Chain A
Amino acid sequence: MNVGPHYTLYHPRWYRRRVSVWWWLQKRSYTGFVLRELTSVFVAFFAVVYLWQLRALAQGPDAYAQFLARLKTPLFLTLDTVAFLFVLFHAITWFNLTPKAMVVRARGKRVPDRVIIGSNYAAWLVVSVAVAVVLLRG
């Protein structure tokens, strides 16, 4: 940045309107954007729960039973419901965005967006069913 001696990198002295920290509540699309960004917190929440489960499994049957019991408390049921909804929102927005992030060509022609989005959802369905079957059969 080309600035004079009195300027610092993040506080240059030109006129700038202050933007409220709540700027994203003023328009629906902005709110959607921030909610989408916040899905990452719940993605991390999943990782923490699974690490906790791994630790319980390593400690033995009693610790695993305690882990399962802890998940039945209202606190964790609420957290898990919210996390599930946010992760679902992440999945849907992520699948719908892929054609914009990645252009696929087949035989010199661009593959239509809905084909890419559709195959994402198909893969999602297959994966979800496969995971459920493996986990439930044991």
Chain B
Amino acid sequence: MERITPLLWLLFSAGGTVAALFLPVHLFLTGLAFPLGWLEAPSYESVLHLMARPPVRLYLFVIIALPLFHWAHRFRYTLYDGLQLKHLTMLIAVLCYGAAVLGTIVTAYLLWTMP
């Protein structure tokens, strides 16, 4: 565990920066502006047209996968401190980072196989 701590910290901070820069606008558009009709949601064809470009897929991979590692690292400590679960260190770490790795694999798979 100690040996990969610097890597986990790097992923946490990279993911935190990506989340801070990119997630508010995406959540605002997808979660509020489109469903409430403030702005028109892009059509199926135009989204697929956008996603035909590899840089767009890479972008989506980055804004989904990196924030997952940010979550894993921060949530792990939230559980330790907030719920006083220090004695479950290993279990919590495996569950959190495991979920992030699984999410990353699913993201890569979906983006790779997208028509």
Contacts and interface: CB of A to CB of B under 8 A. Distances in A.
Interface in B48-85: 48-51, 60, 63-65, 67-68, 70-71, 74-75, 77-78, 81-84
A115 interface: no
Contacts, number: 158
Contacts of B25: 127-128, 131-132
A111 interface: no
Nearest to A134: B50
A123 B21 contact: yes
Contact of A77 (B35, B60, B87, B106): B35
Interface in A30-72: 34, 37-41, 43-44, 46-47, 49-51, 53-55, 57-58, 60-61, 64-65, 68, 71-72
- The B contact surface, by secondary structure, is helix
A121 B29 CA distance: 19
A44 B36 CA distance: 23
- The A contact surface, by secondary structure, is helix
Given A84-B28, A91-B20, A136 B110 contact: no
Interface residues of A, number: 54
A7 interface: no
B82 A135 contact: no
A106 interface: no
A21 to B, nearest CB: 6
18 contacts: A37-B74, A40-B71, A40-B78, A44-B68, A46-B23, A47-B65, A47-B67, A47-B107, A50-B26, A50-B64, A60-B44, A77-B32, A79-B31, A91-B24, A124-B20, A131-B26, A136-B42, A138-B43
